[in-house]
A and B are shown apart, each in its own frame.
Chain A
Amino acid sequence: MNDRLETELRRGPDADVGVGEAASRLLDRALDEGLVSVAYARTDSPFGDLLVAATPRGIVRIGFLHTETEESVVGQLAERLSPRVLHAPARLDDARRELDEYFDGRRKRFQLRTDRALIHGFARAVLARTARIPYGSYLTYGEVAAEAGSPRAHRAAGNALAHNPIPIVIPCHRVLRSGGLIGNYGGGPEMKAALLRLEGAGVG
């Protein structure tokens, strides 16, 4: 049935303000009122797009979108941290700039604060030690395990590194298997080798 009244009602009224503008005003207000628990944005890298997320305390998550989807990364943040998750690129300007500089070879140390809310148990010690490995050098899984307090826990250390929620900034790519073997990486072993080459680590 072609009903003119119903057709007009479905079309809806005209409005001056588009929904994009309304949504951006909403975001500004949500940020002002401290209602955004997790802000996220995409950024590009030589290895594909990254999803970067931050809480008011710092960077909490970096996801490689060539190995996982935006939907799953953002969904996990909602589940594990807070459902108040909003796409807020302005909150990630510093992080995106530092990452760009890093991939460009112009940055050797990140100034970004991190929020380690997604890191638990033994992984805290492992990733804290990993965070102190300097640009261009590396340790083995066994060495990291030992320095994190459990010399025989190299498997658990490997597991903690495999689940590093903030790769690049916490440089888990600087932890290799003994004998200089690359080992696994969330972004794939090729990416790990490329990062080490970028840093001039003399492996890969």
Chain B
Amino acid sequence: MALPPFQALIDTHAEPVRRFLVATAGPGAADDCFQETFIAALRAYPRLRSGSNVRAWLFTIARRKAIDHHRARRRRAIPVAEVPDRPAPLAGPESPDGDLWAAVEALPEKQRAAVVLRFTCDLSHREIGNVLDCSDAAARRSVHEGIKRLREVWT
């Protein structure tokens, strides 16, 4: 079976991919990450094996773009003379709506991606394993641990 037209990927997946990026990269960076994700996907698309799980493939790219964004932001961070006595929340001014998304952004990256893929984007555990490059069982554990952590900090 041939690859579907790229427009079909945009029509089906643009909205969930954008939600994933708002939740993982923050609303300020989500649009740039969205552009980067779909441009990278469009470049690579003709080489994708037909029959691949296109959704998991797109989210794999999106996750990488969100990670790249966080790395770049850390590199840009201004060094301070004194080490603060407690870690600043990762979310800070970029946090979306209130405490929940700040708490999501404070999760370890893998748990954050797993929780958002599971609930906000409605992926199966198998697809999440595909995106996170781990087994279904490991994906399940990451979702579970992320949710457990969120229940502790968000009520």
Residues of B in contact with A (beta carbons under 8 Å apart): 2-8, 10, 14-15, 18-19, 22-23, 27, 30-31, 34-35, 38-39, 42-43, 45-46, 96-97, 100-101, 104, 115-116, 119-120, 122, 147, 150-151, 154
Known A-B contacts A10-B119, A17-B30; the reply to A22 vs B22 at CB < 8 A is no
* Chain B facing A: main interface SS: helix
Which of A15, A35, A77 has a CB less than 8 Å from the CB of B22?
A15
**Alpha-carbon gap, A121 to B73, bound state (A):** 56
**Alpha-carbon gap, A26 to B33, bound state (A):** 11
Chain B residue nearest to A74 in the complex (CB): B5
A window 28-46: CB within 8 A of B: 29-30, 33, 35, 38, 40
What number of residue pairs across chains A and B have CB atoms under 8 A from each other? Answer: 104
Residues of A in contact with B (beta carbons under 8 Å apart): 5-6, 8-10, 12-17, 19, 22-23, 25-26, 29-30, 33, 35, 38, 40, 74-75, 77-79, 82-87
**Alpha-carbon gap, A75 to B9, bound state (A):** 12
B-chain residues with CB within 8 Å of residue A25 when the two chains form the complex: 31, 35
A-B contact pairs, 5 of them (CB 8 A): A5-B147, A25-B31, A75-B4, A83-B45, A83-B46
By the criterion CB–CB under 8 Å, are B4 and A78 in contact?
Answer: yes
Pick the most buried of A9, A25, A33, A78: most chain B CB atoms within 10 A of its CB: A9
**Min C-beta distance of A143 to chain B, whole Å:** 38
Which of B2, B6, B19 has a CB less than 8 Å from the CB of A13?
B19
Known A-B contacts A29-B35, A82-B46; the reply to A5 vs B96 at CB < 8 A is no
